[in-house]
Amino acid sequence: MEGRPLTGEPETTLADDEVNALATALLERVGELAKEMAARIRAGSRDYHYDVVPAEELEEACRSHLGNALRALTGQVPLDTEAASRIGRRRAQQNVPLPAVMTAYRIGVKYFWEAVVDEATRNSLVGSDRLVEAASAMWVLQDGITEAMVSGYHDAVAQRLLADEHERSALVEALLEGRSMDTDAVWSAAEVLDMPRRGPFTVVAAEVPQIGREALPEVAALLSRRGIRSAWRLRPDLQLGIVYLRTPRDLDDLAELLRQHAVRRVGVSPSYDDLHFTGDALRFAKVAMRGGDAASGAVTVFDDSLVAVASAGAPDVMARIAVSVLGPIEAMPVGDRELLLDTLDAWFACGGSADEAAKRLYVHPNTVRTRLRRITERTGRSLTDPRGITELALALRAVRQTQTPKPSPSEPSGTTDTAHS
């Protein structure tokens, strides 16, 4: 921060010989004044963390502020705020709370004014009218110094937070990549990430809507509000997280929150107890993610969605199964094809109940049964035969995992329930 001249403003133009003489007299005693100012700050600021601010450093800071303000008070040099900015950065690096620093500054300014009044009274250097003007100028100077200190403090805090975030991100990446880390290194990583040394943990993999954009903005803060600790890493194509599951309920809360905020597919790995196995968990999370419907923000929990996970584990094989089983339906016009696939999807989701599927689809149960018969006729797979059900379920998941987004409701679909089979 550059020094800012305080000339040009009526209340701070103090080239007056009386004020100049007063400031000069105080400058000659700046060492003495700095020592007393530091002593007063120590006595009046119990929370100023002097265990990390050495006495010599505090006294030097007082000397710097006093000298800077007094030289500017003469009206011959501009106020240099860089020294105050440096001190603000230094206090932030020492982890001194900003309110404590502000308390010290208030004590210091109060002492400075007392010293000005005492010098003016003792040596009759300044009349009362000029002393009032000097007071006004002094407060402007001190405001500039304090503002520069606070700005420097905030800059240092921002830099430290950024550095901490980079360190956390790098550690998350190392764990996700499954890099070889000894036990001490893993435990150190857990400490930095504010994680326990033992799990259970889970890994979350979420597709990003576009490169450089988070799939789950502010997810760490949202989870923290629920008492769930996590650490995240953004890659070009994925947002990845390591989540500590303190209780079984945490997994349910995690899934619920993900479903509320997901806009693309999200996968949740099986739980694991040792951070060494984070790389393996990431692989399972990716498989679970691919098991969700590509056209939606589906959240797939690995252990709760085994059919979806199995179909995503070998996409080339499943693509062949999808063609073999559902090829005749895929060849139908788009509207009719989606009608049958949506019905089959609802039937599976409702545990094979035509009545429940009808409620979900807002149609009559007989309509659902008619559509299911058409699926059986076209595919040759019976929905009363376990083998047929399994093949249809796997094929449907394979189709959903690779489909493109559906047309918007405003687009005509040409769907009818009387399409020829």
All structural domains of the chain: 10-160 (1.10.490), 208-310 (no CATH), 315-402 (1.10.10.2840)
Instruction: Note if the bond before 200 is cis, omega within 30 degrees.
Output: yes
Chain-centre distance for alpha carbon 126: 57
251 to each of 243, 272, 330, how far by Cα in Å?
9, 12, 37
CA angle 348, 349, 354 (to 5 degrees): 65
CA angle 68, 70, 75 (to 5 degrees): 100
Residue 240 has pLDDT above 80, yes or no: yes
Q: Would you say 35 and 111 are in contact if contact means Cβ atoms under 8 Å apart?
A: no
Instruction: Give the least confident one: 183-192, 316-325, 334-343.
Output: 183-192
Highest mean pLDDT among 31-35, 96-100, 187-191: 31-35
pLDDT 10s digits, 73-117: 777 677 777 888 888 888 887 878 888 888 888 888 888 888 888
- Predicted local distance difference test score (pLDDT) of residue 364: 92
Q: Would you say 309 and 299 are in contact if contact means Cβ atoms under 8 Å apart?
A: no
Euclidean distance between CA atoms 104 and 109, whole angstroms: 9
Highest mean pLDDT among 1-15, 295-309, 396-410: 295-309
Residue 181 has pLDDT above 80, yes or no: no
Which residues fall within 8 angstroms of residue 163, CB to CB, at 6 or more apart?
Answer: none
Section 118-142 average pLDDT:
73
388: its two tokens: 């047929």
At which residue do the structure tokens 């921002």 appear?
A: 158
Section 2-14 average pLDDT:
39
Instruction: Give the least confident one: 28-37, 303-312, 402-411.
Output: 402-411
The model carries a pTM of 0.47
Sequence letter at residue 277: F
What are the b/e assignments for 39-64, b being 16+ CB within 10 Å? Answer: ebbbeebeebeeeebeeebbbebbbb
Q: Would you say 144 and 6 are in contact if contact means Cβ atoms under 8 Å apart?
A: yes
- Predicted local distance difference test score (pLDDT) of residue 204: 92
208 vs 169, higher pLDDT:
208
Strand partners, 201: 244, 272
Does the CA dihedral 140-145-146-147 come out positive or negative?
A: positive
Within 13 Å of residue 324, how many CA atoms lie on the same side as its CB? 10
Q: Would you say 215 and 263 are in contact if contact means Cβ atoms under 8 Å apart?
A: yes
**Residue 272 three-state SS:** strand
> How crowded is residue 388: how many other Cβ atoms within 10 Å of its Cβ?
16
Predicted confidence band at 179 (pLDDT cuts at 50, 70, 90)? Answer: low
152: closest CA among 66, 61, 262?
61
What are the b/e assignments for 189-204, b being 16+ CB within 10 Å? Answer: bbeebebeeebbbbbb
pLDDT 10s digits, 354-393: 899 899 899 998 999 999 999 888 888 888 888 888 888 8
Helix/strand/coil percent split, the chain, to 5: 65, 5, 30
